[in-house]
Each structure stands twice: as C-alpha cells, then as structure tokens.
Structure 1
Amino acid sequence: MANMTLFDLVEPEVTHKVPKHWHSFPPPHPLWHPVLGTLYVIIGLFALFGNGVVLWVFCCTRSLRSGTNLLVINLAFSDLCMVISQFPILVCNCFSQAWVIGPFVCELYGFCGALFGTMSIINLAVIAYDRYRAILSPFGGTQLSMRRAGLWLLLIWVYSGGWCALPFFGWNQYVLEGLLTSCTFDYLSMDTWSRSYVVVLFLASYAVPLVVVCYAYFGIVSSVSRHDRNLKSHERAQGENVRYQNLQRRESQLNRFVFTSVLAFMIASTPYAG
C-alpha cells in the first residue's frame, strides 16, 4: 500500500487513457473522493434547478420570446447540458474512487465537457456583441430578430462542435486527468501535434471571445459616458441638479455592471481555458 500510485487504481480497460504525468502520483486521502462527490452533488443540483428555472420561465412567458432572449435561453440550455452530461458520471466515479465506466464514455464525457463549456463562452461573447450593436445604433431598430438569433445559435453550435470534435480525428485526444475520475483533452503531452491543438483551442475558445466581450462592454461604457457628458453639460447649464445626479448615478452603475460582467466571464472561463 505504501508504494501504491494513483495509476494502480485505474481499471485495466482505461489505462491507455492515463497520461504518463499521472503515473507516479500517490492516491489521495480516502475521504477526499466522497467529500468531492458530495460537493459535486450539491453544485449539480443547484445548477440543475437554476438553469431549469431559467428555461421554464423563458419558454412559458410569451413576452420574453425575442432574439436576444433566445441567446440567453441557449446559454442556460448549454449550461444545463453541461451539468447533465458531467455531474452524474463525475459523482459516480468519485464514490467509486476511480473511472469505472470505460474508455468510450471517457471520450464522450470529455467531448461534452469541452463542447458545452466552449458553447457557453462563445454564447456570452455573442450576447455582449448583440448588446453592443443595440446600444450603439444611432437609429434604433437593431433588435435581434428570431431568425438572425437562430443563425447565431447555429454558428455557435457548429463553431464549438467543430473545435471539440477534432480529437476524434487524431488532433489531440480525450484522456483521464487529475484524480482520474474525469476526462478532458490532453493538455499534458509535450509533442508539437498535441500542444498545437491546445494553443489553437485556447485562442479560439477563450482569447478571442474575451477580446469580443471586453471590446463590446467597454465600447458600451464609452458610448454611454460620452452621451451622458453631453446631457450633464446641458443639465448643469439648466441648473437641474437632480437629473445631473441621476446621470452620474447611472454612469456609476453601468461601470460596475461592465466590470462585474467581464470579471464574471474571466472567473467562469479561465479555469476551463487553463
């Protein structure tokens, strides 16, 4: 037992799915797996309830059926699919203290995690771009139609699915990771072929969406601030202090919203991208 490694706990049918990096690690403390499993159950149930409620509200409320809200529905749907495809398998493996469902499910699990994670990130970037277009249009009338929103959703699914399916065609692969109870793409192999996929996926599914989100939200702040400065000058000239103070308050609230949105995007996406 003293010389046992994490690799020794792996089922024989999935040993080829364990990168050499993990072969020499000792097993975790016996309590670690059930603690993690319990934590995943709690998080999974909250996520199921939260995203389920969002979908139910949008689907049952006719007035909320708009192009922009269709993007929000897709975001909730991808998050719900992430939970459904990941947490039952992860919880099962945690309480079994090893991956026990075979190599095919490992690949499917890794693909679903990558797909729905990438979809959520890209979806957030599209929502930011949609808000940017709507707010910066000088004439209005730029509300996202259901048809155009449907095209955006198709692009999000195809773009995300395309990148995440590449390991099935030989560019990288889905393997076990960490405590060997979950699977993801191989980010540890040092050969150029595998590393190139990791770099390209990082750029396509994280760096580019982050640039879009930052550009869109800070563009909104810049536009609204410029508009408010003109209004402030007018209000101060007219001596309307109350409206002037309201404009200042709105600008402050908008800045906090943008900062929070970008920070939330980075907190949610950076661990996945890393």
Structure 2
Amino acid sequence: MTVPNISHSCSGVNSVWCSNSSNQRHGQEQNLSPTGHLITAICLGIIGTLGFLNNLLVLILFCRNKVLRSPINLLLMNISVSDMMVCIMGTPFSFAASTQGRWLIGPGGCIWYGFINTLFGTVSLISLAVLSYERYCTMMGTTEADATNYRKIWMGIILSWMYSLFWTLPPLFGWSSYGPEGPGTTCSINWHSRDANNISYIICLFIFCLVIPFFIIVYSYGKLLCAIKQVSTFLNILLM
C-alpha cells in the first residue's frame, strides 16, 4: 500500500504520522490487498449511508411529532446526533481512503478524523450510560416521574459532551496523540507508542470512557431486571 509522502519535518503534530508511516514501510503494519480495501470501502459505504439515513429519519420524526418530544427522548436524540455526525464528518474520509488504499487528506486531516470519531463515539457511550442511570432512578424512585422535567435531561446531555471533550482533547495538547492506524486508511488514538505518556492516556481513556460507563449501564439495567423479576414473582404468588 502506498503511504502518504510527507515532505515537511517530522516534528510536532506530524511526528506520530511519520512514525506510523515509517512502521508501515518497514512492514510493522499489516497492509490490505486491493480486494481488501475494496471490501472495506463497500462496508464503510453501506454503514455510512444506512447510519446517516436511519439517524436522519429518527431526528425528522422527533421534530415533526410533538408526542415524541419527551425528556427521555432527548437523550436518544443526542445519541442519534452524535452517530449521524460520525457518518457525515468521519466515514466519508475513511471510505475515500479505502477506495484509494491510502490516507488522502494529510496529517492534519488524520488528526481531525481521529479526534471527531473518538469524541462522537464517546458521547454516544456516555449518553447510553446517562440514559440507563436515568431509567434506573425513575423506575426505582419513590416519586412519580415528571415527564415535563427537561432540566435534568439537558444537564445529562451537556455532561455527556463536556465529559467527552475532557477526555478527547488531551491528545491535541500533547497527552498522547492522534495518528494513522491499521492499514493506514483510518486514524485514531496512537495505539502504537509504548512510552509512559501514551500508555497513561490509553489506560485513563479505557477506565473513564469505557469501563465506568459500561459498569453504570450493567448496574442500572441489572437492578431494573432484578426489580422486575421480584415484581413478577410477587404477582405470581398473588394469582396462585
């Protein structure tokens, strides 16, 4: 696979790009065959198109039907927006790169791609955690749910974006970095470097943006399932 020709100095934001490009030239990255790139491009095209259309449909239905404009659905809209942004601002670049077998928009575009995909992906995951916790609090609470309380939901949406920005901005300022990955047609966090700076960021990202949200989701829905099971058992006893 052809790697981008970097004519300027391999310093600053370009150091990761040059390092990964050098790794590819020395066979440290597994290159895809032309057929592999074609299959990848087709899959990305299908995923990007369906993802965009499905999320756009959800947003249109939400805007056109007042009955759907509930606080809890705002969280679902937040997830749809972040997913659609990936389809608009990320997938087209990796699709184009896969059709040509190489990254096409240079180091700056690679950093941009890595940042926005990490940001929007984190927003979706954090929003799912917020959604599960909100359902847990509503179902397990002793008071009746207020279907008109938008304040709490908007706080959850703002939290999901601020929290995601907090963990995806550091690579732009020197704590780890964004660069090419895999066969060189996508970009993400620099998973290749083994220095303490990079490893510490990856560990923190893994804990705070994957493990903790996943634990919240499992805990919240696990508690709800246990509560539903207890109610079902109680009703069965009453009906016997």
Normalising by the residue count of structure 1, what TM-score does the alignment of the two structures yield?
0.79
Shift of the 28–224 alpha-carbon distance from structure 1 to 2, 3 Å rule, reads closer
1:108 and 2:109 aligned: no
Moved more, 82-91 or 226-235: 226-235
1:204 and 2:208 aligned: yes
Number of corresponding residues:
230
1:157 and 2:161 aligned: yes
Contact 2:16 2:177 in 1 (8 A): no
Consecutive unaligned residues of structure 2, counting only runs of 5 or more, are: 8-13
Which runs of structure 1 show a deviation greater than 6 angstroms over 4 or more consecutive aligned residues?
none
Q: Which structure carries more relative contact order (alpha carbon 8 Å, separation 6+)?
A: 2
Consecutive unaligned residues of structure 1, counting only runs of 5 or more, are: 1-5, 237-274
Shift of the 181–15 alpha-carbon distance from structure 1 to 2, 3 Å rule, reads farther
Larger Rg: 1
Q: Which amino acid aligns with 2:70?
A: S
Root-mean-square deviation (CA), in Å? 1.7
Offset of 1:137 from its aligned partner?
1.6
Q: Deviations over 1:215-254 (max 9, x none)?
A: 0001001111112222211111xxxxxxxxxxxxxxxxxx
Offset of 1:15 from its aligned partner?
7.7
Q: Percentage identity across aligned positions?
A: 29
Write out aligned runs for 1:138-153 (5 A).
Answer: 138-143=142-147, 145-153=149-157
Q: Which residue of 2 aligns with 1:24?
A: 26
Contact 2:180 2:186 in 1 (8 A): yes
Offset of 1:141 from its aligned partner?
2.8
Whole-Å Cα distance in 1 between the matches of residues 104 and 112 of structure 2?
Answer: 14
Q: Deviations over 1:140-169 (max 9, x none)?
A: 235472121111111100000111011011
Q: Which amino acid aligns with 1:9?
A: V
In structure 1, which of residues 82, 91, 94 is the aligned counterpart of residue 98 of structure 2?
94
Offset of 1:203 from its aligned partner?
0.6
Moved more, 142-151 or 59-68: 142-151
Q: Deviations over 1:166-193 (max 9, x none)?
A: 1011100001011101110111211111
Normalising by the residue count of structure 2, what TM-score does the alignment of the two structures yield?
0.90
Q: Which residue of 2 aligns with 1:75?
A: 79
Q: Which amino acid aligns with 1:118?
A: T
Shift of the 189–16 alpha-carbon distance from structure 1 to 2, 3 Å rule, reads closer
